Structure formats: C-alpha cells, structure tokens
Amino acid sequence: MQQERCGWAMNDSVEQVYHDNEWGVPSHDERYLFEMLNLEGAQAGLSWRLILNKRAAYKAAFHDFDPDKCAMLTDEELEHIRETAEIVRNKLKIRGVRKNAIAFLKVQAEFGSFGAYIWGFTAGKQIVNHWTDMSQMPAQTALSERISKDLKKRGFIFVGPVIIYSYLQAIGMIDDHVITCPYHTENRS
C-alpha cells in the first residue's frame, strides 16, 4: 500500500511542513501548548491554512506566545496589535490571548505545568486513532467536550469542543493521521 500524507495537508508547503513535523506529535512544551491553544482559537470560523500563514506575525505580536508577557499586555498594546499586526484583527480573539495567558498561568500554578493539567485528561497517554479516511474523523468527542467545559470554567475563551479537538490533534494528545499516512505514529520510524 502506497503511503500518502493526510489529504488536508496536500494544498501547500506550509500545511505540509506543519503536518509532517508537528500535527499529532506529542508536545509537553509549555510555550508551544500556549501557542497552539491561541492559534486554534484564532482559527474559529476561518481556515487553518490562513492561521498557519500568519503564524510568524502572531508570534511576533504576542512575544513568541510567552504566557507571562501575554498576561501583562495592556489594552493599549492589544489595540496596537489589532491595528498593526498582520493577524486576524478580531478584537475578542486578540484580547483572548491575554485572558488565556492569565488563565494559563493560574493552571500552571495549580498543577505545576499546563502540560501536567492537559495531559492529565488522558493519564499522559496519546490517543492513536486508526482512520482509513479523513471523513471518519470526528469534529469533537466526549473528551474534547470535557476539556472544553473545564477550560471555560477556568477562564479560558475560544475553547469550544471543536476547537479543543483540533487543539488535542495539534499538541499530539490525539494522533488522527490516517493509517496510510507515513506520519501516523505507527508508521514513523
């Protein structure tokens, strides 16, 4: 059987690089966990390709997604980002980065790290699915619903169950590569 990467990552090189090197790869890096949470939220109602193409601008605008620095952004700084940065200029999403940073820091203080908190939902284990076709992949699951509800309770925004399912894929808690993809966990060398 010929191995071919997942269909969603066949459109351009930015998607391919992300698919091949990040999507479905387990991460416990705090900065990366915060970055992906906010990028997934920024994607709401838009395409992932658009967000990936603006990723460098997001990182520049939000101090490489350093949660300590993002939590201290002033209203004036956030407005300057909205007016000048080459990002999606949705005011609520931009202010959401600060709100999420504050909530992120509280979770770190409570659990020792955000990684310990988020990976605790799966007892530290990656969920490896075995889809034969991308159409089999759900948009959300009971797990993403449970995490979404808990994140909202902790003060996070733009963390609905569909966004959180995408987030779990992004940070590698869920491997949703189709089984014929060379980047599926069981096909990686």
Catalytic residues: 18, 40, 48
Task: Return the structure tokens found at 69.
Answer: 């620095």
Is residue 177 annotated as involved in ligand binding?
A: yes
> What CA–CA distance (Å, rounded) separates 135 from 123?
28
- Counting Cβ atoms within 10 Å, is residue 22 exposed (0-12), middle (13-18) or buried (19+)? middle
What is the rounded CA–CA span in Å between residue 75 and residue 70?
11
**28 is annotated as contributing to ligand binding:** no
Residues 6+ apart with CB under 8 A from 98: 70, 71, 73, 78
Nearest alpha-carbon partner for 162 in 40, 53, 30, 36: 40
Annotated binding residues for Zn(2+), written as ranges, equal: 6, 19, 177, 181
